[in-house]
């Protein structure tokens, strides 16, 4: 689950921990809602898309299915290999250091990853590669389990990981995640070259059983940095909480996005 610390892009050990098990990541992570993809495509001048921090290609494949040609950029070669195996072209680099080699795009998108990008440098690079009228769209999803189960999950994290941010609960909520949108919008404003940012929201539900939830949990950033014995206890405790809730539950998800249009260059 993404951090909302002041400078999350500096936490490279967490940012580059997702590739420990790219196959699980690709299986277990939620898919983005069609309405989000459709809105980005409809608001862009064409269908050439750059996916920043593409990971295993979860978002990129949704854009491909919508008729877009997508190039991914990701710093982790393990994630890139998985994405390539799913039919995606990927350049391996951090976005700040990536060389576009003169390529331009109609949309720059980033799902669950822009907090790992330095916001001003990232916005400058996006402005560089977007055609005038092109669109940047940066989005995250927020997990919101039933309140009683959220409390039970938090109790497990608090018992096993005291003194860590997760001890306060693994589900920060929409308001906390909105800090990512504010940080991204401020980066666009400082970089220049964009119109006024818009904020979008999309809601949906997903059912989880015990196995499905325990498949998802290890895909969280930094999970594999936890000692192995603690990881095992954590999964056992979370599984017991799902069992106590009847063996399954409905997760409410909210996708929040900040989006802006690349302004035309001023006349000379």
Q: Map out the domains of the chain as residue ranges.
A: 8-141+172-203+253-261
Tokens 């069609």 found at: 34
Report d(CA 241, CA 238) in Å as an integer: 5
How far apart are alpha carbons 181 and 177 in whole angstroms? 7
Sign of CA dihedral 27, 33, 36, 38: positive
> What pLDDT score was predicted for residue 5?
46
Q: Enumerate residue ranges in the chain where pLDDT < 50.
A: 1-5, 9
pLDDT of residue 225: 87
Q: What is the pLDDT of residue 267?
A: 53
Nearest to 188 by CA among 260, 129, 81: 260
* pLDDT confidence of residue 1: 38
User: 13: helix, coil or strand?
Assistant: helix
Please, is 46 exposed, middle or buried when counting C-beta atoms within 10 Å of its C-beta (0-12, 13-18, 19+)? middle
Q: How far apart are CA 249 and CA 208, in angstroms?
A: 6
Question: What confidence score (pLDDT) does residue 13 get?
Answer: 60
**Residue 246 Cα to chain centre, angstroms:** 30
> For the domain with range 8-141+172-203+253-261, which CATH number is right: 3.40.50.2300, 3.30.750.24, 2.60.120.200, 3.40.50.150?
3.40.50.150
Residue ranges in the chain assigned as alpha helix (H)? 12-15, 22-28, 34-42, 58-65, 77-85, 119-129, 147-160, 174-191, 210-216, 228-244
Nearest of 179, 203, 205 to residue 255 by alpha carbon: 203
3-state secondary structure of 39: helix
């Amino acid at each position: 689950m993404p951090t909302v610390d002041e400078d999350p892009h500096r936490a490279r050990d967490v940012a580059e921990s997702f590739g420990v098990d790219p196959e699980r990541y690709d299986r277990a992570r939620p898919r983005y809602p069609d309405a989000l993809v459709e809105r980005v495509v409809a608001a862009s001048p064409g269908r050439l898309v750059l996916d920043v921090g593409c990971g295993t290609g979860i978002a990129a494949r949704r854009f491909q299915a919508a008729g877009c040609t997508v190039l991914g950029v990701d710093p982790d070669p393990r994630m890139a290999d998985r994405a390539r195996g799913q039919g995606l072209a990927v350049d391996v680099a951090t976005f700040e250091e990536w060389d576009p080699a003169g390529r331009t795009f109609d949309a720059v998108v980033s799902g669950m990853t822009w907090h790992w990008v330095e916001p001003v440098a990232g916005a400058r690079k996006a402005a560089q590669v977007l055609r005038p009228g092109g669109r940047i769209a940066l989005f995250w999803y927020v997990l919101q389990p039933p309140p009683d189960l959220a409390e039970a999950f938090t109790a497990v994290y608090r018992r096993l990981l005291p003194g860590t941010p997760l001890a306060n609960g693994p589900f920060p909520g929409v308001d906390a995640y909105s800090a990512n949108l504010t940080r991204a919008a401020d980066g666009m404003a400082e970089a220049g070259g964009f119109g006024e940012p818009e904020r979008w929201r999309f809601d949906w539900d997903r059912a989880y059983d015990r196995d499905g939830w325990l498949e998802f949990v290890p895909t969280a950033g930094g999970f594999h940095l936890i000692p192995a014995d603690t990881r095992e206890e954590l999964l056992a405790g979370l599984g017991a909480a799902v069992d106590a809730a009847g063996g399954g539950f409905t997760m409410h998800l909210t996708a929040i996005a900040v989006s802006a249009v690349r302004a035309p260059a001023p006349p000379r």
